[in-house]
Structure 1
Amino acid sequence: MDITKALKDLKAEPGFKENVGMVLVHNGVVRGWSRNDRQDVAAIEITPDRDKMEEIRKEIEQREGIWRVVCHANDGRMEPGDDVLFLIVAGDIRENVKSALSDLLDRIKAEAVSKREIFA
């Protein structure tokens, strides 16, 4: 996903100027170490459940003050530094957008994306 293009496209949509006062972006990347024990990671295998991601995206987009939610997960084998997950939440005010992004991220990671670490 080209994040610059995605933001440009959002800003060009009808209703953006009338409904958006904040856009938050999450760009998850592959870490070089395991969260569990800090062991060196050579790569990870990512498997997103795109249907579940879309279900979660739609739920979050229905929240008060949220105008648009965009989700994109890469899949397959990736190495440290590679992009894994992009999330964009656009909405009216900070309080609505921050909590929506936080919940979106937590739910996508817990419910819609699985990963397997490959150790160095």
Structure 2
Amino acid sequence: MQVLGVVGSGATTLCERLASRLDGRVATIESLPSGEADENPPDAVDGAYGLTPGENWVGTGSNRPLDELLDEMASEYDYALVSGFPETTLPTVALGGADADNIVAEAETFGDLDLDELAHEIDGFEPHVTLGSLVEQVKRDPRADYAGAIATFTGRVRAKDGEDDPRTTSLEFEKYDGVAESKMATISEELEDRDGVERVLMHHRVGVIEDGEDIVFVVVLAGHREEAFRTVEDGINRLKDEVPIFKKETTVEDQFWRHER
């Protein structure tokens, strides 16, 4: 799922106009100034949903941070347009001089922007990918009818190797744009040439990732469990050995680049 943030006066309108130029399912998230939804769920209920006979729905809830909401949406939507959240790492359009942590475009008003060009640029941003979104993707694959197994691998930030080790607080990953993706695509295609392997998906996050968070996913759609398990193991091993991604580790005591991953 591709995600774009917008801040400043006219952010909501820009999201609405940009949505019509995106090819896929689009969701919007708006920061409410009051910090509360228009309607709170009933007491003792954490989420409340309404569904019409035509399958349109509305919902309200509590205790749902932005990152968690994006994770849940990633399996269902191709794009998310997020307005009013300046203090995130999302690529963000700033209107009217508004400030944000990761500004990729600025304009006085949304009318000063080329929306077709902006829609094209969104597809080049780092996607918001979860294990669930990759699993849903292989389930929708045309070859899914021939598959009886889905095997997955998730790599995460380990806080400690041993009891006496200083705690790792985060890892930061960097990659050459396009090079890592091309290599992962090649590995996936070669693994898909195996008998019984229908689809292989890989994704490695970049940027700063906190301890306990997910780093990398490998998902294999296969005819049977044997080839699924074998291929998911080979996939992560080849990714670690062959894909040029660089890692900086931050502990409570130090910060350093690691050559092995």
* Residues 41 and 92 of structure 1: CA distance in aligned 2, closer, same or farther (over 3 Å): same
Shift of 1:92: 0.8
**1:34 shift after superposition:** 4.6
Greater fraction strand: 1
Counterpart check, 1:69 vs 2:197:
no
With a CA cutoff of 8 Å and minimum separation of 6, indicate the structure with the bigger relative contact order. 1
The runs of at least 4 consecutive aligned structure 1 residues that moved more than 4 Å come to none
* Contiguous gaps of at least 5 residues in structure 2: 1-128, 253-261
Bigger drift between 73-82 and 45-54 goes to 45-54
Instruction: Compute the RMSD of aligned alpha carbons.
Output: 1.9
For 1:38 and 1:50, locate their aligned partners in 2 and report how far apart those are by CA, in whole Å: 33
What is the DSSP-based 3-state SS (H/G/I as helix, E as strand, rest coil) of the residue aligned with 1:117?
Answer: strand
Letter in 2 for 1:10: V
Deviations 1:24-67, CA, capped at 9 Å, x for gaps = 111211111258x8432121111342222111111111111100
2:168 aligned to which of 32, 41, 51: 41
1:118–1:22: structure 2 CA closer, same or farther, 3 Å change rule?
same
Distance 1:58 1:39 in 2: 39
Q: Are positions 1:103 and 2:234 aligned together?
A: yes
Give the match for residue 23 of structure 1. Answer: 150
Assess, with a 3 A threshold, how the Cα gap between structure 1 residues 50 and 84 changes in structure 2: closer, same or farther: same
Larger Rg: 2
SS of the residue 1:5 aligns to: helix
- Identity between Structure 1 and Structure 2 (%): 27
Unpaired runs of 5+ residues, structure 1, are none
Superposition deviation, residue 114 in structure 1: 3.0
For the Cα contact (< 8 Å) 1:43–1:78, is it kept in 2? yes
Instruction: Give TM-score scaled by structure 1 length.
Output: 0.86
| More helix as a share of residues | 1
Cα contact 2:152–2:217 (8 A) shared by 1: yes
Find the aligned partners of 1:114 and 1:32 in 2 and give their Cα distance: 18
Specify the alignment match of 2:93 in structure 1: none
Which whole-Å CA distance do the structure 2 matches of 1:15 and 1:54 have between them? 18
Deviation at 1:89, TM superposition (A): 0.4
| Distance in 2 between residues matched to 1:74 and 1:104, nearest whole Å | 16
8 A Cα contact 1:34 1:41, kept in partner? no
Name the CA shift for 1:54/1:14 in 2 (closer, same or farther; >3 Å): closer
How far apart in 1 are the matches of 2:181 and 2:142?
A: 26
User: Does 2:245 correspond to 1:118?
Assistant: no
Matched with 2:139 is 11
Q: Distance in 1 between matches of 2:170 and 2:130?
A: 22
**When the two structures are aligned, how many residues end up with a matched partner?**
118
